[in-house]
Amino acid sequence: MPIVSGVLNVNKPAGPTSFDIVRLVRKGTGAKKAGHAGTLDPMASGVLLVLLGQAVRISEYLMDLPKTYRATVRLGFATETYDAEGNPTGPERAVEVMRGEVESALQVFAGEIEQTPPAYSAVKVDGQPAYRLARKGAAVALRSRLARIYAIRLLEFESPEVVIEVECGKGTYIRSLAHDLGQALGCGGHLVALDRTRVGQFSVDSAVAPTELVGAFETGDWREMVLPLDCGLTELPAITLHIEDEKDIRHGQAVRIDEERLTSAAVEDGRLHRAYAEDGGLVAVVVYEGATGLWRPRKVFGSD
């Protein structure tokens, strides 16, 4: 049986960890290499991209894709973990805010913002995940970091719950956003539900549930659910290689590429591209080097 490489768009339910889903897929497919592109907390649901075979090597590109979340925030009190699984940090307060106040507060978070990750997170502190130190009762002081919020919208407001949609970049903590929203409104708040509805072009509407996967493993039909490896690279422009250039790229050598083989007229220095063989097979991810006019391989893929 040939090795399968590609992307499984899985609709993770709330409850299992992201690794639980990867383990399910690895067992069902018999894949030696399997991973995921972007962890979802156990309480979260939605799009989890599980990578098989050579697709594991494109995880960094998938993790850079913009993400969309639907989040439910409970106002009235904050928690240690910034979500419903943590202990309250103080008594519950009356929520005396109007819809307009919530909408105004949300707009403060649009754009590039400074955000402090939760103490109960996987961010490393002196070589250890912060959550391990927090569970031991240690004081955890994490540095703020830049987060990119492309759009944030109020979907529903029925006090004390707020439902928002967030389009954001890599490394954004929705739990921190929920906490910070509660602080901005002066009543505290924490995350009670989270659904990742989109990662790049991968939508939850086209994702497969774990129960469907199990059935497909039993019938052997699961291969039809695996998307080609380059489905995770569609944000990158494409080029087609001459057969000699393909050989050089596969051997790790830089090449010069004719302009007619480019999909865009202007090529930027440092821009990544998908490079295909003349038969349509994906060969590599390559980068253009403006100073020399050469294309250098970043990731070279074998033929499964």
| Active-site residue set | 41
Q: Six-digit token pair at 152?
A: 């944030």
Name 115's Cβ contacts closer than 8 Å, sequence gap at least 6: 144, 145, 146, 147, 172, 173, 176, 177, 180
CB of 187 closer than 8 Å to CB of 97? yes
Q: In terms of C-beta distances under 8 Å and separation of at least 24 residues, what long-range contacts does 287-295 make, across chains too?
A: 289/254, 292/254, 293/256, 294/254, 294/255, 294/256, 295/239, 295/249, 295/254, 295/255, 295/256, 295/257
Q: Which of 15, 1, 71 has its CA nearest to residue 209?
A: 15
DSSP conformation class of 45: E
Q: Six-digit token pair at 200?
A: 């790049």
For the purposes of burial, counting CB atoms within 10 Å of the CB of 302, is it exposed (0-12), middle (13-18) or buried (19 or more)?
Answer: exposed
The beta strands (E) that lie in 76-135 are given as: 111-115, 124-125, 128-129
- Give the angle 187-178-65 at the CA atoms, nearest 5°: 165
Amino acid at 190: H
Torsion of CA 172, 176, 178, 179, to 10 degrees: -170
- Name the pairing type of β-strands 189-199 and 161-168: unpaired
For 281, what's the count of Cα atoms within 13 Å in the CB-facing half-sphere?
A: 11
